[in-house]
A and B are shown apart, each in its own frame.
Chain A
Amino acid sequence: MIEVKELVKRFGNITAVDGISFDVDKGEVLGFLGPNGAGKSTTMKMITCFLAPTSGTVIVGGKDILEDPLAVRRQIGYLPESAPSYPEMTVLEFLRFMAEMRSIPRGEIGGRIEEILATTGLEEVRHQIIETLSKGYRQRTCFAQALLHDPEVLILDEPTDGLDPNQKHEVRELIKRMRHEKTIILSTHILEEMEAVCSRAVIIAQGKIVADGTPAELAAKSRYHNAVTVRTRDPQAAALREKLQLIGGVNEVEFTPGQDGGPASFTLFSENNRPILPDVTKFLETHDVAVEEIFAERGRVDEVFRNVTQPVA
């Protein structure tokens, strides 16, 4: 549905986007991750034809952004980063204007707006001037605008920015409900958000793609992948460390002494990230260690994120 091809954007001497290519299919929710200034917003602005690329192009639903920008824009619903809207209009007036601009037939506009007000939870503020709304409502008003024409493609630049945890949850649920009929690209720097809603993640840093895969694949790149964490209140916990080291397949053991009366914890890293949970469990049983908690790690995305986005010193 979306093909990004060798996209480059330079601002003067600064290369904001440096040769990015990826495809997104219908039904996919692509999470666009990266530190601030990595080029996420710039890439989105090029896909929506707001900025022209220095080189490269994007094909959206078979239409090229350089050759037929209006046809591209017709297919896209876009939520810009700052969620702009016209502060002096009411929510209803704003949505009506956007619907007219989208050439939605006059007779359908009213019904369509009602539907969107209900989906985005804006019904009770429909007659309010946007300026007087809280940040969360303003964010949702701009989100509503992106959904009006039931677009094939949604480009959402930080859709949950500035929302409280409940509102964040609602927006994520909304995205999850829509994901099967649409192609969605969303940018975020909240990792749990990516894990919660995205079927795939692309991490970019300094304008280049540094990782691309499902959230599980990304987590598997972590050194914590398949590591086992054990919490225990055993008084001789510190002495256990060397014994644990001897379990077959265990590469390294990290020990954190218990603090404030809490349990001490060990993290056992395995060789080549092989699963070691059964071996560890058996060892702990035979040595009669009182275990409070034991689990195998899936991997820590934040650690992978740091590793791939920070330039090697």
Chain B
Amino acid sequence: MNGLIPIVKRELLSYFRSPVAYIFIIIFLISTAGATWFLGSFYQSNQSSLDPFFFFHPWLYLFLIPAVGMRLWAEDRRSGTIELLLTLPVNLLTAVLGKFLAAWLFVGIALALTFPMAATVYYLGSPDTGLVVTGYLGSFLMAGSYLAIACFTSSMTKNQVISFVLGFFICLILVLLGWGFLQALLVNVFPVWLADAITFFSFSSHFEGFHRGLIDSRDVIYFLSIIGFMLFATVIVLEHRKAS
């Protein structure tokens, strides 16, 4: 893991050097707050809970997270810095992990900046602190999964637009699998066990527990294994690039 920390530091520095980072954070804050207040009827619901806030995260992340992840490898491939990075004495896995962790931290920072949302809830009522904590934890884990997928699609191309669109669609499929309407459809078409198995892979069903205050080890393992699998796939793609 030699070189992991310098890579994370460098990537984070790059984020904050470019205006894109600030624009992203602003859009992230506006869209999460906007969804909570207007779509989630936060105020009218008359409950001191962050439920309407977390409810929209799987949908908002669909376009927000691939936007962060699209440049991870595509940009290095376009500018040629990949040739510097991958001729340094570091493992490919270290490089992939370093870039991923930096992006995940960046998303974590954006997520942490939604604290006024939580503060509002505390100001208006007395929410269950456990719920708030698990909600944030779940959201962060889920963001990691989205990001790992975007990292994978980014490694396949030097074009950031293609990277974004591919990442968006893979994430969309994983979100839709947990959508009630589709679930009902699946049960009609497939045997129940298969429909359940397919639904098992959806983001939203694994996120639900968190914003109800549950930390189920299966949900944690689900998100972590998506991250692990996608980063591993990224390593394979980059390894393949080397050979072809």
Binding site for B on A (CB under 8 A): 11, 45, 48-52, 70-71, 73-74, 76, 78, 80, 82, 84-89, 93, 97-98, 100-103, 142, 145
A50 surroundings in chain B (CB, below 8 A) = 83, 86-87, 242
B79 surroundings in chain A (CB, below 8 A) = 84, 87
Q: Which of A52, A78, A89 contacts B17 (CB 8 A)?
A: A89
- Contacts A86-B14, A93-B13, A103-B2: A78 and B87 contacting too (C-beta < 8 A)? yes
Asked whether B84 lies within 8 Å of A145 as measured between CB atoms, the reply is yes
A-B contact pairs, 15 of them (CB 8 A): A45-B83, A50-B242, A51-B242, A70-B89, A70-B91, A73-B88, A82-B80, A84-B81, A85-B84, A88-B14, A88-B18, A89-B14, A100-B6, A101-B3, A101-B6
Assembly CA distance A184 to B197 (angstroms): 59
Write the nearest CB–CB distance from B5 to chain A, whole angstroms.
8
Q: Which of B18, B80, B89, B242 contacts A102 (CB 8 A)?
A: B89
Asked whether A84 lies within 8 Å of B83 as measured between CB atoms, the reply is yes
B10 CB–A CB distance under 8 Å: yes
Assembly CA distance A45 to B89 (angstroms): 15
Given contacts A89-B17, A98-B84, A142-B84, 9 further A-B contacts (CB under 8 A): A50-B86, A50-B87, A80-B87, A85-B84, A86-B10, A97-B10, A100-B5, A101-B6, A145-B84
B119 CB–A CB distance under 8 Å: no
Write the nearest CB–CB distance from A17 to chain B, whole angstroms.
14
- Interface members, chain B 77-104 (any A CB < 8 Å): 79-81, 83-84, 86-91
- Contacts A80-B80, A88-B14, A93-B13: A101 and B87 contacting too (C-beta < 8 A)? no
Assembly CA distance A82 to B243 (angstroms): 21
Assembly CA distance A51 to B242 (angstroms): 5
B244 CB–A CB distance under 8 Å: yes
Assembly CA distance A222 to B212 (angstroms): 84
Q: Which of A48, A82, A85, A100 contacts B87 (CB 8 A)?
A: A48
Asked whether B244 lies within 8 Å of A80 as measured between CB atoms, the reply is no
A11 surroundings in chain B (CB, below 8 A) = 244
Q: Which of B7, B14, B18, B87 contacts A73 (CB 8 A)?
A: B87
Interface centre among A84, A98, A142 (most CB of B within 10 A): A84
A97 surroundings in chain B (CB, below 8 A) = 6, 9-10
Q: Which 10 residue pairs are nearest across A and B when measured between Cβ atoms?
A: A84-B80, A100-B6, A88-B17, A73-B89, A80-B83, A48-B87, A74-B89, A82-B80, A52-B243, A84-B81
Asked whether A102 lies within 8 Å of B88 as measured between CB atoms, the reply is yes
Q: Which of B2, B14, B87 contacts A49 (CB 8 A)?
A: B87
A74 surroundings in chain B (CB, below 8 A) = 89
Please give me the residue from chain B that is nearest to A129 by CB atom.
B17
A48 surroundings in chain B (CB, below 8 A) = 87
Asked whether A52 lies within 8 Å of B87 as measured between CB atoms, the reply is no
